[in-house]
Structure 1
Amino acid sequence: MAETTDIIDDPLPPDIRNQLTDMLQPSETIQFSTTSDIRLDGTFGESWLLATDLQFLSFGLNAGAVSDIVQLPMQEITGIEVKDLVGSGQLKARTANEGATLARFSKGLNPKFNDVAKKLETLVKEAQPDLEDEKVLRGRLGRTAAGKRCDACGTVIHHRSGVCPNCLETRKLLTRLLSYAKPHWKLGVISLFLLLTATFIGLLPPLLMRELIDNVLEPASDPFFIKEDGYAQLYMLVGMFFMINLSSSVLSAIRSYILSKLGQHVTYDLRNQVYQHLHRHSLSFYNERETGRIMASITQDVGRLQDFISDGLQEVIRDILTIVIICVILFSMNPKLAALTLLSTPLLVYTTLKFSERFHSTYRGLWRRWAGISALLADTIPGVRVVKAFTQEDREVEKFETRSKELLEGEVRVAGIRSVFSPIMAFITSISTLVIWFVGGGSVIEQTLTLGNFVAFTQYMYRYYGPVQSLCRLNHRFQRASTSAERVFEVLDTQPDVIDQPNVIKLPRIEGKVEFQDVTFSYEPGKPVLQDLSFTIEAGEMIGLAGHSGAGKSTLINLICRFYDIESGKILIDGHDLQDVSLKSLRDQIGVVLQDPFLFNAPMVENIAYGKPDASLAEIVAAAKTANAHDFILRLPDGYDTPVGERGVRLSGGERQRISIARAILRDPRILILDEATSSMDTETEAQIQEALHRLIQGRTTFAIAHRLSTLKHANRLLIIENGELAEIGSHDELIAQDGIYARLCHMQTELSQIRAL
């Protein structure tokens, strides 16, 4: 995010600026910012309006956390107007559709927002693109400007999200979360039965206490009281107290175990569904998101949901049931006192609802901070060698401390809200308690209410306020769960970009003929990477891909694998359109050897057999021998059972590459893709890898990208990509004779080799 160039009226505080990082493009410049005293929902509170060179952005502040964000691309705005209302005003943006409200303000800010409207009108006029520049601007805005809006409410959806935040209602989120318990309904029914039984038994002691006071303790002061009868009733009542407490404890323990088991089953299903859905996404999903944030959704968020389902849900059901039963008992004992007891309930509910808004927005901010720390760790720990090589340990520690401080501030903010919330709730209930003691005590003095009845009533009253306060204290857990559910369901509701079309067929075993017919593709609208690309590759040919960095070579092989869908044209394999065949049947027949091969933290044998898990040991060994990997594997301590370490860290670059080649050989692909497979290798290692690759490419259609063009001399043909277009095609000798782009690249590399030799 670039520095602000022209901020008038109200400077944007750094802590708010940091929260907006995900909402702005890296090159986006804030041109204007101002505050208002009314939020977009009409409630009084601090709100902000920003204008950048690409969009307008409005949001409210709740306990310092950004919430209720509205984004509107600049190019969609046709004008700005101020609308006067009774006691307030609105700043509105006109669009081709219905328009949008950018800010609300009180009457006292009318002059200010009249000036704001003039400023924004000027910015809109300056930002309106010419027809020839519109594609460029849409490219800068990316997917948001391309019209990715919510079908229900029209809100612009951020390019890193797949769903509308305004339509993710908390109640629906938690209702949907509870629907995951449906397959485990038997556990739910058993736990509910135990809950009803334990709750009913737990409400009997006050009635026994009334019996003890009115029929045993008070009559004992009478000189005609028969002690033997009193002791008999006392023994019976104490025995009943003991059995009630024992039964309640046993039932509660069993119920807690069952509900915990239910919660574990639900989160197990949810975590697996999230992970399965992540694997359905195309590469674009991961390109737009940080690894740490994705990991946080699977681990931290799902874990918080488990806590809510097992513990939080248990408390909610128990407390609601207890409140209902106690209300019935209180009104049956003394309607007047019962009405006074319930008098404070609306105030308790109102206070809880008011604090809920603050809790939810604050927990959203906390999630962003937690995810930011996870993203930093996921980025830094795998790159620890680079950190140490450049002696940047102190810098990384400082970055982590900054993120941790932001998290600390957020946690302190939550603690501050809770420290105010809990005493307020306790004070309200204490006032109600004093009223009951005053009125009820007077009734006992007037002898219109027995002491036993009054004691029993006060015990039920405390038991009523206990669940009420518990539900109120549960609010922060409820908000944490709803925030986590929002993040989890956001992942689940984001639809994959590349999916199997209806009625796709299974691609039969192919020969390997590949055709591109007028293929155009871009990662961002308005910025094509490949344009009208057409060529035909016969089965069994080895094709070299060459061109300047960023020309589109890697994109081309990504499209063959259908990691992305093309915008126009067709890609055919053996005459089958890639859109008409299943992804699995296509990728099952493609093998990839990358410049930096990725190995999993597993034994050698599992890494080689990754593409063919059911391969026999003999097949694995044969593939390793073909890849010139067998000998060095046998020299390892445990041979094929030796763990390679995270990302293959225990192996050299050449060894990792040979394992990658063995993995491709075992898969026996019909189309082979070599992406810089021999780069950065010493001469001896490269010779071994070239020998292995020579065996691998026999009888397969091969696409090879290499920065050293000398390694492509033996290719049947070379495709030279320039600015996303096919500039040249032919054999090495033919292209050298043409003296075009390829010849110049070869000449440059020859001169560079001579300089290095000197």
Structure 2
Amino acid sequence: MTSNAHPLQSLLAYARAHRPQIRLAVLYSVLNKFFDILPEVLIGAAVDVVVRGEQSFLARKILVNVGITDTWQQLLLLGALNVAVWGGESLFEYLLELKWRGLAQDIQHQLRLDTYAHVQKLELTFFENQRTGALMSILNEDINQIERFVNGGATQIIQVLCSSLMVSAVFFALQPGIALIALLPIPLILFGAFWFQKRLAPRYTAVREAAGDVSARLNNNLLGLATIKAYTTEDFESEHIRQASDAYRGANARAIRLSSAITPVIRMAILAGFTATLVYGGWLTLHGRLEVGAYSVLVFLTQRLLWPMTRLAEVADMYQRSMAATARALGLLGTPIRIRYDEGQHFAPQQARAALRFENLGFAYAEQPTLQNISLDIAAGQTVAFVGSTGSGKSTLVKLLLRFYEPQQGRILFDGRAIAELNLQDLRRAIGYVAQDSFLTDGTIAENIAYGTPGASDAQIRAAAAQAECLEFIERLPLGFATRVGERGQKLSGGQRQRLALARAILKNPPLLILDEATSAVDNETEAAIQRSLAIVSRGRTTLVIAHRLSTVRQADAIHLLERGRIVESGRHEELLARGGAYAALWRLQTGEA
């Protein structure tokens, strides 16, 4: 799938694993169309039999050798053939529907899974320039649009092509002169369809982009509904939604104005071909140059050939919508992964010592330096704290350690090996991470504690909850560990969510534990509980604590104060206070001392 390839080429390349099924679906569509045009031929033969009797084309050319010359017997034979034809058409209609719909579901399902799995592997830098709602629009509506095209549009294109070829063959066999007249509008119809498609493509791209804007705005507002209510900005945000929806409506209107013109243009071309067949074929029949049955066949087949082409408007519309959706979905799937999951040296996470070394580390978001020349060693089993004002680089240091980002300068060593050379999944399995706003899945309390530790027993989950001091509030709930926490844990308080996040990290039992502002948004009671838990679980385990409140890191083996991306002071709590520097000033500020 190259970036400059046509979206249809990219879609076919992506679906190469389904090619045997696609070939079978195409075969069913062709056979269905073959049986679909035969009734018109049988009608013409029946008219010929009724009008000419034993001198009919069927009797003279086909049945004379088998002795069926009686008119009634010919009609009975045509009736039997009609039943067989309708049976064949119905059978292949069922098979093609079954196959195409199954293919559409399979491709939709696989594409959504592949795209979501790919998005999960992208580095955080990618998401800084993306909106969640826009990504959701691609993963949901765009992929659904591709499914609709495979389900309905693909078979329509195949059948229009097949009917054109098959009917043309019958026309030229019966009356080449009429064939040329009847088929004359087809190039004009196809040219018009492609002309419209070319101009529809950018309009439907704009429609998909506008749909992503609407989805992004809705997602943002639903997540911030409490703030919207608190500041009574419902009307203000409703106006934002109206503007986004109006832009989407406008983009759709521009596409609709053009797509709606396709059908009338095609109808005029069809009218010319059908009228020519009707009038000129009738003139030839009146003058004995064309048999009545053949004339009937041509009239019926002209309608069978040309009128389905009115659906080209619908197909072209669906095609352009799906190609715009395909370009977005496969474009997202083709986004390069800069930090690979499947590379690097494997190691046993539970056997790691988690000794850390930062060598001349530097990092910047865009043009703004965040970390500059950070160098320090952290021995295995130590509890080390990083403190400082907002924007000093504390959390960035942790994100580099987790390889959410890659440093622009220097490197980080884990047990003496550069983390860029280690297998990324093994590295992250060796780390327990508790963030300020920890993610909880919409499952039970037990499922959230065991998140990331598949196969954990009930006893292990309960023990982890006890160490995180969660048992008291869990056992007060009606269903205990089976209580569902709601989307993002909204049924729990902030402190309860943080304790569950800590229990999750404890159950994982990692060699390295990271608390990134884990107590900054909780009450004093929860902070004290987390501190008691931390004092227990950090024993013999490398622990990094990112904190604003200095009171939470007093017992750390080492405290590093960061300012503007640099370590300006290091030492134990008492040592730093004795120096009377920036740390001591910050301590006096937080404790209310003069």
Aligned to 1:264: 105
Higher relative contact order (CA 8 A, sep 6+): 2
Distance 1:398 1:518, change over 3 A: same
2:263 pairs with 1:422: yes
| Match 2:377 to one of 526, 530, 536 | 536
- 1:541 Cα deviation (Å)? 1.4
Q: Give structure 2 stretches of 5+ with no counterpart.
A: 57-68
What secondary structure does 1:191 align onto? helix
Aligned to 1:517: 359
Question: 2: distance between equivalents of 1:531 and 1:250?
Answer: 72
- 1:427 Cα deviation (Å)? 0.9
Question: 2: distance between equivalents of 1:189 and 1:411?
Answer: 34
Aligned to 1:215: 49
2:159 pairs with 1:325: no
| Match 1:196 to one of 30, 34, 45 | 30
8 Å CA contact retained: 1:517, 1:569: yes
2:429 pairs with 1:585: no
| Match 1:635 to one of 476, 482, 504 | 476
8 Å CA contact retained: 1:606, 1:613: no
2:458 pairs with 1:617: yes
| Match 1:602 to one of 432, 443, 446 | 443
Aligned to 1:408: 249
Identity of aligned residues (%): 32
What secondary structure does 1:699 align onto? coil
- 1:738 Cα deviation (Å)? 2.5
Question: 2: distance between equivalents of 1:209 and 1:308?
Answer: 34
Q: Which has the higher strand share?
A: 1
Question: 1: distance between equivalents of 2:169 and 2:448?
Answer: 66
Distance 1:205 1:397, change over 3 A: same
Letter in 1 for 2:10: R
Letter in 1 for 2:48: D
Q: Relative to structure 2, which stretch is displaced further, 677-686 or 415-424?
A: 677-686
Aligned to 1:732: 573
8 Å CA contact retained: 1:507, 1:581: no
What secondary structure does 1:535 align onto? strand
Q: Deviations over 1:333-366 (max 9, x none)?
A: 1112111222222222221222112211111111
Letter in 1 for 2:353: E
Q: Deviations over 1:299-319 (max 9, x none)?
A: 111111111112211222222
Output the TM-score relative to the length of structure 1: 0.73
| Match 1:670 to one of 511, 518, 522 | 511
What secondary structure does 1:505 align onto? coil
Aligned to 1:234: 75
Q: Deviations over 1:400-450 (max 9, x none)?
A: 122222222222222221221210111111122222223222212222112
What secondary structure does 1:704 align onto? strand
Letter in 2 for 1:512: A
What secondary structure does 1:381 align onto? helix
8 Å CA contact retained: 1:216, 1:233: no
- 1:507 Cα deviation (Å)? 5.6
- 1:641 Cα deviation (Å)? 0.8
- 1:648 Cα deviation (Å)? 0.6
- 1:368 Cα deviation (Å)? 1.1
- 1:603 Cα deviation (Å)? 0.5
Runs of 4+ more than 6 Å apart: none
2:394 pairs with 1:553: yes
Aligned to 2:275: 434
- 1:569 Cα deviation (Å)? 1.1
Aligned to 2:290: 449
Q: Give structure 1 stretches of 5+ with no counterpart.
A: 1-162, 223-227
Question: 2: distance between equivalents of 1:372 and 1:667?
Answer: 39
What secondary structure does 1:720 align onto? strand
Question: 2: distance between equivalents of 1:381 and 1:521?
Answer: 34
Letter in 2 for 1:616: S
8 Å CA contact retained: 1:720, 1:729: yes
Q: Relative to structure 2, which stretch is displaced further, 597-606 or 458-467?
A: 458-467
| Match 1:714 to one of 540, 547, 555 | 555
Letter in 1 for 2:106: H
Distance 1:567 1:507, change over 3 A: farther
Aligned to 1:490: 331
8 Å CA contact retained: 2:342, 2:424: no
8 Å CA contact retained: 1:322, 1:467: no
Question: 2: distance between equivalents of 1:536 and 1:701?
Answer: 12
Letter in 2 for 1:400: I
8 Å CA contact retained: 2:49, 2:75: no
Q: Which has the higher helix share?
A: 2
8 Å CA contact retained: 1:340, 1:432: yes
- 1:500 Cα deviation (Å)? 4.7
- 1:287 Cα deviation (Å)? 1.9
Question: 1: distance between equivalents of 2:505 and 2:344?
Answer: 30
**RMSD over aligned Cα atoms:** 2.2
* 1:132-531 → structure 2 map (5 Å cutoff): 167-170=3-6, 173-218=7-52, 229-500=70-341, 503-506=344-347, 509-524=351-366, 526-531=367-372
Aligned to 2:64: none
Output the TM-score relative to the length of structure 2: 0.93
Aligned to 1:114: none
Question: 2: distance between equivalents of 1:311 and 1:278?
Answer: 29
What secondary structure does 2:261 align onto? helix
| Match 1:569 to one of 410, 428, 447 | 410
